[in-house]
Structure formats: C-alpha cells, structure tokens
C-alpha cells in the first residue's frame, strides 16, 4: 500500500477512473471520513472497502471539520484518490461535502469533485418550513448550476437540533421539495436519544448516568423508514461512529438501505498508537487538549465529566491506550481528546512549526503495522453487524 510517487492526484484521476469520486445510488453506504492529513488511515479504509466490497464515501468532511483542520475539500478528495490507488480499490466510491451551509461551502465542494452534497439547514429550522425549503432550493440550484450535467446526490441534514424530528415535519418537507422538482436522496433526522461524539448511543441521563435503552430509537426508526420509503429517500445516520448498540437495529429495520457516517474516532485510534509507543507525546497532547476543551466543545453535544478523567501523568502507555478503547475504555477521556482534534493537528510553536502533527505522523509511520491493524479492527467493528445481517 504505497502512495503514488510519480502521479499527482489530478493525474491519477485522469488516467485511472477508479480513483475518481463517483455517485453512489445504491445502499448501504458507509461514510469513512478521515480528518488527519497523513493519508495512512484513508488507505486502510480503502483496503477494507475493497476486501468487503463496500459502498463508501472515501472522502467525507464537513465544512466545520475543514475549518478546524485547516484543510480544504480538495485535499480531502485528493487523499481519497491517493488511497484508492494505493489500496487498488476498483469499486466506485463517493465524496461527501458534509454539513454545507453557505454558497462558498458548495462552490469549494463542487470544485473539489464531490459527488454527494449534504445541506445543513439547522439555522433555518427555527424559522419554519418555508425558510427551510427556500434554503434547500437555493443550495440545490447552485449545486446544479455548478455541476452542469454531471450527476450528484443530495442529503438534507436536520440532526443538529434540540428535539427529535417529527414524522409530520419529514412528510411536509419532502412533499414541498418534491413539488419543486428537487430529488432528495437522503435525509438525516434528529433521532430520539443522544448521538454524542466518541461514545455509544444512549437515550437519556438519570442521576448522572447514561441510560442505554434502544427501544425508542427502534420504534422511531421503524416509523421513519415507512415514511421515507414512500418518497424513495434513504435514511442517513450522522455521528455514527461507535454507536455499536444501534447497528443491529439499523440492519434489521433498514436492511441495505441506509447511509452510516463514521468519521471522528479514527483520530482516537491514532492516539492509541501514540500512547502505546510514545507516552510523552501522548501526555503532551492530552495536556494541550484539556486546556482547549472548553473552547472546542462549544459546537458539540457532550456529557463528558472532567472529574472522571484518569491520571494520565502516572499511567503507562499501554494502560492509556486501553483507556481509549471504544466501549471499554474511559468515555470522558475519549470525548475530551476527540473534540480537540483540530486544535491538536494545527497547533504551532512560536517559530511556526507544528507542535504535534508531525510527531504523530512519525510515530504512526514507525509503527505502521500496529496502526494498520488497530484501525482495521476498529473499522470492522462498525461494519460486521451489517455484513452478518
């Protein structure tokens, strides 16, 4: 799995069709977003897609992630192109411009070659149906104008709100968009319960403890599936990383007709390797993350309790790595590290040198076999419930 050292991403796309983003019309679709700039993890994702013949968004990044990592949509698509080539992925793969809110977002995503466009209308939801429909219509017209005759798919993101999306709101919205001739491929509602970053799904908090009850989620998903099926629309689940308790429910209710977005916690898998092989670097990253946490958490829904964090300064590397294990580690530590990814990856010292990113890349490269295996196992935990189903 070596990167092309001769051809640029643009040249690869010109020469090899399989390295170009494609439209994914059939489910299931797995969104394998990758935030780090060093591509290695993106290659593992492409390898897993090839091995299990998955429909994947090999390039997936939200406008917020772009801002925090100081990357561009073009860099994200280029990473996927290089990864597809390195992994010899011959299957079609997509590129998702996620949580787009502005004309500038759409223009950048189109220019980069994205094939799937996720329109985030969270700001308009409070203004009512007409405002939402007008915003989606304007975003769709711009996308169509820029894409010309090239095919693309669109998704409506309703998930970043306080309350669960009602069936009535979904019906009214899809009916209004249908009247305007806008073909919606996917819809991402706000589900009941909590889809917090880096941890499993839970329904509510009781006396400071998360209640992991999936009954209401299954009831809601079953009803929603019946509604959107009549419009030919697929359900998309956002913040889908590490939601292991709901995967069997999704497989049972949705069969192969869904889109599951998983992106953020691949960065945590990388920190596992850093903790295991360079504990001093990990501790430095932790201290920096803890200092940044209150600022970086503002745009995320989290239940992390800082009083429950471990004593990172006294624990050995392997113990720290184990605490980052999804579902069996320390959820509070995982959330603190997860939401500060952008600050860590872009932090620079007084001379302009990267504080952590280059050192992290070096550790991962020096321990590439361990890293590849860890990330592959994490990916498989996300797809096995659907493969077995």
pLDDT digits (tens, 9 = 90+) for 85-125: 999 999 999 999 999 999 999 999 999 999 999 999 999 99
CA distance 375 to 36: 13
- Mean pLDDT, to the nearest integer, of 223-228? 98
Cis amide prior to 28 (ω within 30 degrees): yes
Do 108 and 221 belong together in one domain? yes
What is the predicted pLDDT for the residue at 305? 96
Cβ atoms of 301 and 159 closer than 8 Å? no
Q: pLDDT tens across 239-260, in order?
A: 999 999 999 999 999 999 999 9
Q: How many Cβ atoms from other residues are within 10 Å of residue 312's Cβ?
A: 18
Residue 221 lies in a domain: yes
278-297 pLDDT, tens digit each:
999 999 999 999 999 999 99
345 in Cβ contact with 67 (< 8 Å): no
Provide mean pLDDT across the span 296-319: 96
Question: Is pLDDT of 1 > 90?
Answer: no
Claim to verify: residue 286 and residue 256 sit in the same structural domain: no
**What mean pLDDT comes out for the span 291-308?**
96
Residues 222, 346, single domain; the answer is no
pLDDT tens track for 119-156:
999 999 999 999 999 999 999 999 999 999 999 999 99
Read off the pLDDT band of 263 (50, 70, 90).
Answer: confident
Q: Is residue 121 part of a domain?
A: yes
105 with 169, same domain: the answer is yes
Average pLDDT over residues 319-339: 97
**Structure tokens given for 138:** 């304007």
Tell me if 2 is assigned to some domain.
no
Judged by average pLDDT, the poorest of 2-11, 57-66, 159-168, 341-350 is 2-11
Q: How confident is the model at residue 388 (pLDDT cuts 50, 70, 90)?
A: confident
Q: For the residues 299-327, what does the mean pLDDT come to?
A: 96
Residue 4 pLDDT class (50, 70, 90 cuts):
low
The count of other CB atoms within 10 Å of the CB of residue 290 is 16
Whether 72 and 141 share a structural domain: yes
Domain presence at residue 146: yes
Which residues are within 8 A (CB) of 81 and not within 5 positions of it... i.e. 6 or more apart? 9, 12, 13, 19, 20
Percent of the chain with pLDDT over 90: 96
Is a pLDDT exceeding 80 seen at residue 372?
yes
* Residue 3 falls inside a structural domain: no
pLDDT for 312: 97
The CATH code of the domain that includes 99 is 3.20.20.70
Statement to judge: residues 282 and 204 lie in one domain? no
pLDDT of 33 > 90? The answer is: no
207 and 105 in a single domain? The answer is: yes
* Tokens standing for residue 313: 């300064």
Q: Does 6 score more than 80 pLDDT? A: no
Cβ atoms of residues 197 and 240 within 8 Å: no
On whether both 153 and 136 belong to a single domain, the answer is yes
* Full domain range(s) for residue 335: 267-370
Q: What is the pLDDT of residue 136?
A: 98
Residue 41 pLDDT: 94
Average pLDDT over residues 47-52: 97
Say whether both 187 and 293 belong to one domain: no
- In this structure, the answer to whether residues 305 and 158 fall within a common structural domain is no
Q: Tell me the average pLDDT across 375-384.
A: 95
Q: What is the C-alpha to C-alpha distance for residues 177 and 180, in angstroms, rounded to an integer?
A: 5
Over residues 200-218, mean pLDDT: 96
Q: Is the pLDDT of residue 5 over 70?
A: no
In a domain, 1, yes or no: no
Domain count, the chain: 2
User: Does residue 22 register a pLDDT over 70?
Assistant: yes
pLDDT tops 90 at residue 3: no
- Output the CA–CA distances (angstroms, integers) from residue 68 to 199, 301, 340, in the order listed: 21, 17, 9
Q: Does a structural domain hold residue 52?
A: yes
Mean pLDDT confidence for 21-35: 95
As a three-state string, the secondary structure of the chain is CCCCCCCCHHHHHHHCHHHCCCCCCCCCEEEECCCCCCCHHHHHHHHHHHHHCCEEEEEEEEHHHHHHHCCCHHHHHHHHHHHHHHCCCCCCEEEEEEEECCHHHHHHHHHHCCCEEEEECHHHHCCCHHHHHHHHHHHHHHHHHHHCCCCCEEEEECCCCCCCCCHHHHHHHHHHHHHCCCCCCEEECCCCCECCCCCCCECEEECCEEECCCHHHHHHHHHHHHHHHCCCCEEEECCCCCCCCCHHHHHHHHCCCEEEEECCCHHHHHHHHHHHHCHHHHHHHHHHHHHHHHHHHHHCCCCCCHHHCCCCCCCCHHHHHHHCCCCCCCHHHHHHHHHCHHHHHHCECCCCCECCHHHHHHHHHHCHHHHHHHHHHHHHHHHHHHHHC
Averaged confidence pLDDT in the chain: 96
Closest CA to 382 of 42, 49, 7: 49
Length of the chain, in residues: 389
- Over residues 349-360, the mean pLDDT reads 97
Asked if the structure places residue 4 within a domain, the reply is no
Question: Do 311 and 299 belong together in one domain?
Answer: yes
β-bridge pairing 204-206 and 209-211: antiparallel
Do residues 258 and 272 both lie within one domain?
no
Q: Which residue has the tokens 């299931």?
A: 28
């Amino acid at each position: 799995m070596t990167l092309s050292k001769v051809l640029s991403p643009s040249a690869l796309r010109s020469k090899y069709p399989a390295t170009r983003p494609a439209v994914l019309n059939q489910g299931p679709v797995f969104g394998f977003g990758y935030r780090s700039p060093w591509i290695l993890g993106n290659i593992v994702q492409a390898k897993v897609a090839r091995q299990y013949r998955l429909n994947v968004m090999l390039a997936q990044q939200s406008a917020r992630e772009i801002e925090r990592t100081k990357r561009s949509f073009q860099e994200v698509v280029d990473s996927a192109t290089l990864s597809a080539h390195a992994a010899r992925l011959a299957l079609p793969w997509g590129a998702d411009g996620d949580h787009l809110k502005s004309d500038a977002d759409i223009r950048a995503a189109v220019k980069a070659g994205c094939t799937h466009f996720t329109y985030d209308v969270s700001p308009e939801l409070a203004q009512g149906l007409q405002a939402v429909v007008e915003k989606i219509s304007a975003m769709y017209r711009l996308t169509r104008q820029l894409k010309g005759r090239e095919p693309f798919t669109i998704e409506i993101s309703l998930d970043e709100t306080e309350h669960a999306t009602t069936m009535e709101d979904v019906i009214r919205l899809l009916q209004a968009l249908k009247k305007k001739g806008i073909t919606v491929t996917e819809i991402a509602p706000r589900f009941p319960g909590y889809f917090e970053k880096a941890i499993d799904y839970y329904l509510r908090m009781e006396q400071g403890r998360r209640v992991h009850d999936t009954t209401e989620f299954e009831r809601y998903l079953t009803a929603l599936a019946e509604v959107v099926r009549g419009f030919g629309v697929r359900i998309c689940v956002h913040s889908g990383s590490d939601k292991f308790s709901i995967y069997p429910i999704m497989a049972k209710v949705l069969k192969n007709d869904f889109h599951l977005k998983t992106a953020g916690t691949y960065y945590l898998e990388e920190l596992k390797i850093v903790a295991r092989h360079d504990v001093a670097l990990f501790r430095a990253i932790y201290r920096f993350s803890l200092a940044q946490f209150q600022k970086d958490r503002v745009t995320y829904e989290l239940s992390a309790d800082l009083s429950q964090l471990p004593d990172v300064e006294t624990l050995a590397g392997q113990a720290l790595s184990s605490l980052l294990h999804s579902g069996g580690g320390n959820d509070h530590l995982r959330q603190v590290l997860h939401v500060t990814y952008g600050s860590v990856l872009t932090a620079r010292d007084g001379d302009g040198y990267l504080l952590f990113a280059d050192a992290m890349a070096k550790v991962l490269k020096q321990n590439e076999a361990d890293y590849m295996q860890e990330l592959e196992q994490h990916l498989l935990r996300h797809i096995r419930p659907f493969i077995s189903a």
